[in-house]
């Protein structure tokens, strides 16, 4: 089951670092809880919050995204479209290994679950003495839809 974070997780992690719980930080996290599986940029989040009634400064969005990433509630990633994007850092270990399939024709980003990389990480540990904490895997190619259009 996809299990995710609560505002209480946020509160606890903020306290542990002597940061304050603020409405802005809560609403930024909430945006991600409301948009599972999406890869939102700072501008995206800002736009979504503005469309709702929440007033928030863009700089605050940037600062919140960075903080939430440090608290490991979000994960930062780059898809090469010129801006950083974020997604909820799921707490479910079975979802740990989801990779991104990026269609170079239409730009769609979909996900793919896999656990093959556990072996690979063990291999890296053994051969290189490198301790893997996290990884990012991106496959570039052509999605089903774009293939059938040609």
Neighbours of 84 (CB within 10 A): 17
Q: Which conformational region is residue 129 in: left (phi greater than 0), alpha (psi within -120 to 50 degrees), or beta?
A: left
Our CB check for a copy of itself shows the closer of 95 and 121 to be 121
Query: Whole-angstrom Cα distance, residue 52 to residue 47?
Result: 9
97 is known to lie in a ligand binding site: yes
Please tell me whether residue 128 adopts helix, strand or coil conformation.
helix
Query: Whole-angstrom Cα distance, residue 61 to residue 49?
Result: 10
- Residue 136 within binding range of DNA, rule CB under 7 A: no
Site string for a copy of itself, 46-85 (x = CB under 8 A): ------------------------------x-x-x-----
> What are the binding residues?
97, 103, 106, 135, 143, 146
Instruction: Name the residues that contact a copy of itself, by CB under 8 A.
Output: 76, 78, 80, 101, 103-104, 110, 112, 114, 116-117, 119-121, 123-124, 127-144, 147
């Amino acid at each position: 089951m996809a299990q995710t974070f609560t505002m209480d997780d946020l509160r606890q992690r903020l306290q542990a670092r002597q940061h304050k719980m603020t409405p802005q930080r809560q609403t930024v996290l909430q945006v991600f809880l409301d948009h599972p599986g999406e890869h939102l940029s700072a501008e995206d989040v800002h736009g979504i919050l503005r469309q709702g009634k929440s007033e928030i400064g863009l700089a605050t969005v940037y600062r919140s995204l960075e903080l939430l990433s440090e608290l490991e509630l979000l994960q930062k990633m780059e898809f090469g479209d010129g801006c950083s994007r974020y997604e909820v850092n799921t707490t479910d270990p079975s979802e740990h290994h989801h990779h991104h399939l990026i269609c170079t024709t239409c730009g769609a980003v979909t996900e793919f679950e896999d656990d093959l990389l556990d072996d690979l990480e063990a291999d890296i540990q053994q051969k290189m003495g490198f301790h893997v904490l996290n990884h990012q895997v991106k496959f570039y190619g052509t999605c089903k839809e774009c293939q059938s259009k040609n």
